[in-house]
Amino acid sequence: MAWTKTINKLMLNGEAYNTAYNSTVTIQKNWTTVDSFTLNQSADKTVNIAVPTNSDYVDLNTNQTVAWTKTFSTSPVVPAKSSAASAANTTAIATEAQVALKQNTLTAGTNIQINGDTISATDTTYSEVTKSDLDTGTSTTAWVIDAKSIADYVKGKVSNAYIYRGSVATYADLPSTWLTAWDVYNVEAAHTSAPKFPAGSNLAWDGTAWDVLGWIFDVSNFVDLTSNQTIGWTKTFSTSPVVPAKTTAATNTGTAIATEAQVYKKQDSLTLPSTPTAWHIVTWWANNKTFADWGAIPTSSDYVDLTSNQSVGGVKTFTSEPVLPSKTTAATNTGTKPATEAQVYAVAQAIPTVWNATLTLTQWGTSKGTFTANSTTATTVDFNTSFVKTQTEYDNLPSSKTTDWNFYFIYS
């Protein structure tokens, strides 16, 4: 807002038309002086007073943050709210209706009384706990106990507690005097005679002897839950171990355990080649995506087939007799063909009966020797070998023998 005040002097015949005064005009904003000017000054003056904006004052339309403490002469009126107040809304102003509603939901108890708009409370009187109550330790009643009673009770309970006295190198280094019951020592070396214990054992003095309590347990030989470890020997699990979830296709990692999901995924993606190097007999169970490979189908070069000629190598021992094609005719002299029992039987029937007759050899009516037809030994028969040679004509040959082995030479 601009305020402008212009004062002009009017002159007539060198005389002032009227009297001009020179009072001061002071311009203020909110009781604070902004500027001033005199009524009889010769120069114009403009005093600008800025109109307040919503950043300086509370307006009626926008959300604003009001700083400093504001004291209201009368209670401000807030929007009507009759529902229950929310504990989470820590900046909202509650109405009297919400406060009354909250008071109405209060429940009176042993120590709280509600009488109209008045809420009053009374002190609770607690009984002092006794040592017997503490020893029993089953009561849930609230008690009063002082610090000294607690300290005395705890001291009485722990008076026989183990007291760690230190560490010694060997069993022989344990003290033998100035001992009290419940003294405990750590023995660094193992003891192989009574009392036997491993290295790092804790021993307590019971008043008369040393009692082995326990020892340092080396967990380096056990499987932990946080670090990488190499596990030796064969481990047999009674139930299947659970491995981290893996559903992606398995990789060619020889040490990684595959999950059933990976095996299922691999089985589901298996395909037989269109031109395999060797045909296999394969069974496929669609319900659980499982292949069973029964091996390569045998070829004629590996096994005896039923249709072609083949040479079978090696010695073949039959648990039962092989059956040959029926053959009842006489066997031929073929050295590579097996004979049937019928052929062998036929040959046996054609063999003549062998007798055992005696053959007697005579010369001119005189027996020279005998042998049997089925004899197993050689027999020699000697005939007379003396010759009488005579020359004669045919007509002169004798009509009867004269001596054995006479030979006649016939001449004409």
Residue 160: the pLDDT is 73
Reduced to 3 states, what is the DSSP secondary structure of residue 344? helix
Select, from the ranges 10-14, 145-149, 334-338, the one with the highest average predicted confidence (pLDDT): 145-149
Query: Are the beta carbons of 215 and 201 closer than 8 angstroms?
Result: yes
Residue 272 has pLDDT above 70, yes or no: no
Residue 169: the pLDDT is 96
The residue with greater pLDDT, 354 or 57, is: 57
Whole-model pTM over 0.85:
no
The residue with greater pLDDT, 410 or 177, is: 177
Reduced to 3 states, what is the DSSP secondary structure of residue 103? helix
Section 141-168 average pLDDT: 81
List CB contacts of 269: < 8 A, sequence separation 6 or more: 249
269's tokens? 């993606």
Residue 2: the pLDDT is 43
Residue 4 has pLDDT above 50, yes or no: no
Distance of alpha carbon 232 from alpha carbon 220, whole angstroms: 13
Q: Phi and psi dihedrals of 254, rounded to 5?
A: -70, -15
Distance of alpha carbon 202 from alpha carbon 162, whole angstroms: 11
Q: How many helices (H) and strands (E) does the chain have?
A: 5, 20
Q: For the chain, give the mean pLDDT.
A: 75
Distance of alpha carbon 287 from alpha carbon 264, whole angstroms: 11
Distance of alpha carbon 262 from alpha carbon 251, whole angstroms: 10
Distance of alpha carbon 30 from alpha carbon 198, whole angstroms: 93
Distance of alpha carbon 231 from alpha carbon 243, whole angstroms: 16
307's tokens? 């249709």
Distance of alpha carbon 28 from alpha carbon 264, whole angstroms: 90
List CB contacts of 37: < 8 A, sequence separation 6 or more: 5, 24, 25, 45, 47
Query: Are the beta carbons of 259 and 246 closer than 8 angstroms?
Result: yes
Query: Are the beta carbons of 270 and 291 closer than 8 angstroms?
Result: yes
Section 266-286 average pLDDT: 60
Kindly give the pairing relationship between strand 183-187 and strand 163-168. parallel
Section 21-50 average pLDDT: 82
Report CA 271 to chain centroid distance, whole Å: 28
Section 340-352 average pLDDT: 71
Q: What is the residue extent of each domain of the chain? A: 2-48, 127-158, 163-215, 237-303
Query: Residue 370 pairs with which residues in a beta bridge?
Result: 360
Residue 151: the pLDDT is 80
Select, from the ranges 164-178, 232-246, 299-313, 357-371, the one with the highest average predicted confidence (pLDDT): 164-178
Residue 159 has pLDDT above 60, yes or no: yes
Preceding omega of 76 cis (within 30 degrees of 0): no
